[in-house]
Amino acid sequence: MHKLVAANWKMNGLKEAGVDLARGLAMRAASEKLNSELVICPPATLLISVAEVLRGSPVHLGGQDCHAEEKGAHTGDISAAMLKDAGCRYVILGHSERRIAHHENDAEVRAKLAAARLAGMAAILCVGENEDQRKSGETLAVIERQLTNSLPTGLAGLNASDLSIAYEPVWAIGSGHTPTPAEVTGVHARIRAQICQILGSRWREVRVLYGGSVKPQNAHDLLAAPEVDGALVGGASLVLDDFWAIAGACG
């Protein structure tokens, strides 16, 4: 299975700039073959426009979040079925910025994962510790708790390609600081073991991504580390050359 590199544009990009960035990536992906799978997750306002640009290209489209319900009186929300209808293959769930700013808990993330599965979408589930938890040595305990409580039961019908886990140390996001490749390897190995414990041994092939201040300067060391199956990229994904360099670091 190829490594997965996902661009999380967050709340950035108006139509013209977003379409130009997506078009540039699609053109490069079509002409310069990479040993990685690429995903763009733009803000919801750009999904349809970006989907049109990516049609026929090897780059997938993804959403940044979804509601647990398929439809209803949920002003401002978007369902997994709507994302699928817009052309999305992936959806990011449980991102630290959602957990912190919107007070999402593991039960809510689990319900969203179930909704994504029902809609036939692949999920990128985010887990990670904050700075205080890291300093107190709680990293693995926090991640194990998030995984145990965020993963829905009844995933027997899915393949490992339908679920990815993104380790995003909250203290590293946007800070310019990253854990060492050895530290990342240790956390990713524990995530993989925990996934197998929860879901069964066949899920050993699930892709475990690293996310947290990934840049062209550190991408090669991080992506070459054992147990690292790709990256969830924030700010650097808004610059075509930077994101392409990160994707190319997959080998």
> Which whole number is the average pLDDT over 21-26?
98
> What pLDDT, in 10s, does the model give residues 165-213?
999 999 888 777 889 999 999 999 999 999 988 888 777 889 999 998 8
| pTM for the full predicted model | 0.96
User: Does the pLDDT value for residue 159 go beyond 80?
Assistant: no
Q: Greater confidence, 155 or 10?
A: 10
- The pLDDT value recorded for residue 12 is 98
Q: How far apart are CA 24 and CA 67, in angstroms?
A: 30
User: Does the pLDDT value for residue 156 go beyond 60?
Assistant: no
- The pLDDT value recorded for residue 60 is 98
- The pLDDT value recorded for residue 96 is 95
Q: How far apart are CA 169 and CA 45, in angstroms?
A: 28
Q: Which CATH number covers residue 68?
A: 3.20.20.70
Region of residue 2 (phi > 0: left; psi between -120 and 50: alpha; otherwise: beta): beta
- The pLDDT value recorded for residue 157 is 61
**Residue 5: closest CA among 174, 173, 223, 191:** 223
- The pLDDT value recorded for residue 127 is 97
Q: What percent of the chain has pLDDT over 90?
A: 84
- The pLDDT value recorded for residue 34 is 84
What is the total count of domains within the chain? Answer: 1
> Which whole number is the average pLDDT over 117-142?
95
User: Does the pLDDT value for residue 43 go beyond 70?
Assistant: yes
- The pLDDT value recorded for residue 161 is 81
User: Domain residues for 209?
Assistant: 3-248
**Residue 125: closest CA among 89, 170, 155, 164:** 164
- The pLDDT value recorded for residue 154 is 62
Residues designated catalytic: 95, 168
Q: What three-state secondary structure class fits 32?
A: coil
**Alpha carbon of 5 to those of 104, 177, 206: distances in Å?**
25, 20, 14
Average of per-residue pLDDT values in the chain: 93
Q: How far apart are CA 140 and CA 133, in angstroms?
A: 10
